Every structure is written in C-alpha cells, then in structure tokens.
Amino acid sequence: MNALDRLDRLRSVAATAQVFSDPYTTSDGSTVIAVSTVKPHGSVKAVGIFVVTKGDCVWTPAIDQTRIAVIGVTIGLVAATLSSLAVLRRPPWPDLSA
C-alpha cells in the first residue's frame, strides 16, 4: 500500500467519522465520554460529552465561544461602518450655508 492509497483511505474514513474518547470515571462514580468529529481535511472539532451517572445519561453539547465572539464583533463593525457612512453622507446637524 503506497502513500496515495493511505491518504485516500484516510479521507474516506475521516469524511464522517465521530470519535468517542475512552470512558473516564470520576471519584463520585460518574462516567464521562467525550465526542468529537473528524472533518474531511483532517481537523477535529469537539461536539460534546456524555455523562453517565447511576444509569442516567446526559448529553452536554460543546459551544464554540470563539465563533460567537467573532459574529458579535463583525455585527458591531458593520453597524459602526453603516452609521458612519450615513453621517458622512448627510450630517445630522442643520445646513447653515443657505
């Protein structure tokens, strides 16, 4: 098997692969299992965790706070740009030249 065959095999496996971590047992008896997704270009993204406590399973999703912050900053930048353009086009103060 040459390198190109290995890369093709890796792409086909990693296209929709979900990866579950080894179970970790905490001191109170809970079991934590992390879940992540492997994307086609090879990066890994955390999806969330399963917490199993006394037969009850709880899913906790992972939230990408960086993406939320970037969206907020982008919205603020667009709002500031649009308001600056509106003021430069027609200032809010009265026209005294006439």
Q: What tens digit of pLDDT does each residue of 1-32 get?
A: 566 676 666 566 555 567 888 889 999 999 99
Q: What is the pLDDT of residue 75?
A: 98
Q: Is residue 94 part of a domain?
A: no
Q: How many helices (H) and strands (E) does the chain have?
A: 2, 5
Q: What is the pLDDT of residue 72?
A: 97
What integer is the mean pLDDT of 77-84? 95
Q: pLDDT: is 26 or 97 the higher one?
A: 26
Q: Is residue 95 part of a domain?
A: no
Q: Is residue 1 part of a domain?
A: no
Query: What is the helix (H) or strand (E) element at residue 11, kind and residue range?
Result: helix 3-14
Q: Is residue 31 part of a domain?
A: yes
91 pLDDT higher than 80: no
Domain carrying residue 76: 14-89
Q: Is residue 63 part of a domain?
A: yes
Quote the number of domains for the chain: 1
Q: Is residue 39 part of a domain?
A: yes
Q: Is residue 18 part of a domain?
A: yes
**53-77 confidence digits (pLDDT tens):** 988 889 999 998 998 999 999 999 9
CA angle 35, 14, 6 (to 5 degrees): 140
Q: Is residue 69 part of a domain?
A: yes
- Cα–Cα distances in Å, from 82 out to 86, 89, 93? 6, 11, 18
What integer is the mean pLDDT of 33-60? 86
pTM above 0.75, yes or no: no
